[in-house]
Each structure stands twice: as C-alpha cells, then as structure tokens.
Amino acid sequence: MGVTLLPEWVEQDAVLVAWPRPQSDWQPWLDQVEQTYLEMAQAICRFQQLIILCYDDILRQHVSELLARHDVPPARLILLTRHYNDTWTRDYAPLSASCDGTPCLLNFMFNGWGGKYPAELDNAVSPWLYEQGISTDTHLINYELELEGGAVETDCLGTLLTTRQCMLDSKRNPGMSEQDITESLKSSLGVDRVIYLQHGKLLGDDTDGHIDTLARFCTKDTIAHVSCEQDSDPHYESLNSMRQELQDLSQPNGESYRLIDLPLPEAILNDDGERLPATYANFLIINGAVLLPTYQQADLDSECQQRLAEVFPDREIIPVNALPLIQQYGSVHCATMQLAGRTLA
C-alpha cells in the first residue's frame, strides 16, 4: 500500500483536543488553561470542526456549557467522553495520510515519551476513535513503532524531519538500530529520506527534543525555526548549530530551503525557578489560519506574528495565550492534532 504522510497545510476536516480536567496536573492552573482551550476552540471552530475528548460526563457537561456561554457554534463541535492520561493529543492521536490516493489514519505506539509518564489510556485513543466512526471511507493502519506526532515533520515531497535525540532514544524503541528505525519510518510514512537534526533542545523540554518545538515545515520549501541571538542565553550555541544544519540542507530538487527565524521567547520560569520550554515554533496550521502561541512578550509576540504572516499570506495568524500551557511543558501544537481526509463527514 502506498502510504504518504500528509503535511499540516493540506485541507483538514477537524482538530482533536483533550480538555484539561481538575483531577490532574493542571489543577493549579485550571482556570487559566481552560481560557486558553476556549481561545483555541473559538479560533478553530471559525474554520472547521473541533473534536473534544472529555474525561467523564461531568467534564463533558461543563465543557458544553462553557462553550455555549461563549457562542462557540455547536454545529462545529463534537464532544466525546473518553478516559485519557494526558492532554497532549499531538503525540498519541492518529496521523493523517493518503493511502493509494485515499484518506487513511496511522496509529503508532505511544509509551509516554520513553516511559516518563503513564500512557496506557492515551495509547488506546486512536483505535477507540476509529471504532467510534470518526472517519468515513477511511481505514486505520496500526504500527508497532513508537512514534509521537510532535516528533516528525514532512514536506510531502518525500522528506521527513526529526531529531536524533528523540527519534533514536533507546527507551522509545529498544532493540532497534538507527537503520531499523529509519527504514520503518520510510515504509510507514512513505518518505524517501529521513533527516535527523543533531542540535537543538529547549530547557525544560521533557520530549527529548520534539521537532515541533524547534523547526517546522510551513511549505514544501520553507522551514520556520527557533533562533537565539543572545550569546548569554544557554540555548545560544545549540540553536545556532541547529540553524547551520538547516542552512546545509537541500530540498529534493537540490535548492536550499527558505529559513524563517522565530526568536526564542525571553526566559519563562516556573515556581521552582526552572526555565520552561516556551517556543513560537509550536504553532498549529488549520484551514484558513495559523494559531500562534504567544507569551505576553509584546515585541516578540508581534514579531513572530508578522514573520508567519509573510509565510502564510492566505491564512489569518491568530495569537493564543500559551503561558498556561507552558506550565506543563507544552504549547498549542502539542495540545492539538489535525485530522484530514473525510473525517466526520
């Protein structure tokens, strides 16, 4: 079967999120993070459907009433009751692909970012969604490879971009060599080459360097990436080495990529004084818009909004307050997963 992983900029049917619940690590920031999810819901439902996983019926009723009070159109909403371990659907929801020209969903294993956190419930979400009939005229392909959605980016021209420290982590796919993993990625995602970035990791990041925190395909020839110009910042050397790697890359046609710098936000610390992995690269592309994480740093927020507006001239750049999300080490892209290909038709 000819499988091709779809890039994020193709036409989408829906976005999937899992709503934060009180009995979780979100408890100290629940009011603030709900406001962020409300912002995302309002933005997404202007353009397409939003599927919301609710941990139980009590949360489902609460979310339904909250969205109704803020005039989120019910015709664009689907609320489902389902237990989950965590809210970061990017890493356990199915990936959208084309299989011999028809839509399909790809289900990979998820082990909680190399066994860091419980993941049994999250790992079961994709097949459960398929059983609920979230897609029509599509099928689900299951793989044994451990793969998180935030760990891979594609140009849809046969290139997969990932990071060595994450994708080749021995706790994710123990016993598999680099060659084994590379060949598995090629066959399961329909790519010709796998590029492993060796540099770039944000302090506080517990994903071991997900590519969606560092460098993102915006079009087939454009990559937006995190940059750091302050030589006093501990990220300076690593992110500049990553930029050099990206500059040295070639498109399949031999030309260089167009690179878009997204400045690293100024340091955001948690209550223990530890730096959190804030990044503007963790944006979400949807139909007609891009949801940009912002961090109440007016100049940088505005600069990144302007730079992405140049890259996405046909899409509205919508800022989303990601400060509550970053308290649990993720951002807008981490909290969402787009679904493409006649889902929920």
Q: Is residue 344 part of a domain?
A: no
pLDDT band at 2 (very low <50, low <70, confident <90, very high): confident
- Measured CA to CA, the distance from residue 117 to residue 111 in angstroms comes to 8
Whether the predicted pLDDT of 209 surpasses 50: yes
Look at 338 and 138; give whichever has higher pLDDT.
338
Q: What is the CATH number of the domain that holds 209?
A: 3.75.10.10
pLDDT by residue (tens digit) across 21-33?
999 999 999 999 9
Residue 135: the pLDDT is 74
Distance between the two ends of the chain, CA-based, in angstroms?
24
Q: Is residue 279 part of a domain?
A: yes
pLDDT by residue (tens digit) across 249-306?
999 999 999 999 999 999 999 999 999 999 999 999 999 999 999 999 999 999 999 9
Span 231-260, average pLDDT: 97
Whether the predicted pLDDT of 345 surpasses 60: no
Phi and psi, residue 14, nearest 5°: -160, 165
Residue 344: the pLDDT is 41
Q: Is residue 248 part of a domain?
A: yes
- 50, 12 contact by CB (below 8 A): no
E-state strands within the chain: 3-5, 14-18, 49-54, 77-81, 95-99, 102-109, 139-146, 153-154, 159-163, 193-197, 215-219, 222-227, 258-263, 284-286, 289-294, 316-321, 337-339
How many folded domains does the chain comprise?
Answer: 1
Structure tokens at 275: 């730096």
Q: What percent of the chain has pLDDT over 90?
A: 94
Q: Is residue 345 part of a domain?
A: no
Look at 344 and 204; give whichever has higher pLDDT.
204
Q: What percent of the chain has pLDDT over 70?
A: 98
- Measured CA to CA, the distance from residue 222 to residue 259 in angstroms comes to 6
Which range marks the domain in which residue 12 is found? 3-339
């598999």: which residue's tokens? 176
Question: 215 has which bridge partners?
Answer: 225
Residue 147: the pLDDT is 98
Q: What is the mean pLDDT of the chain?
A: 96
Whether the predicted pLDDT of 137 surpasses 60: yes
Residue 342: the pLDDT is 55
pLDDT by residue (tens digit) across 39-81?
999 999 999 999 999 999 999 999 999 999 999 999 999 999 9
**3-class secondary structure, 170:** coil
Structure tokens at 134: 């979230």
Exposed/middle/buried for residue 335 (C-beta within 10 Å: 0-12, 13-18, 19+): buried
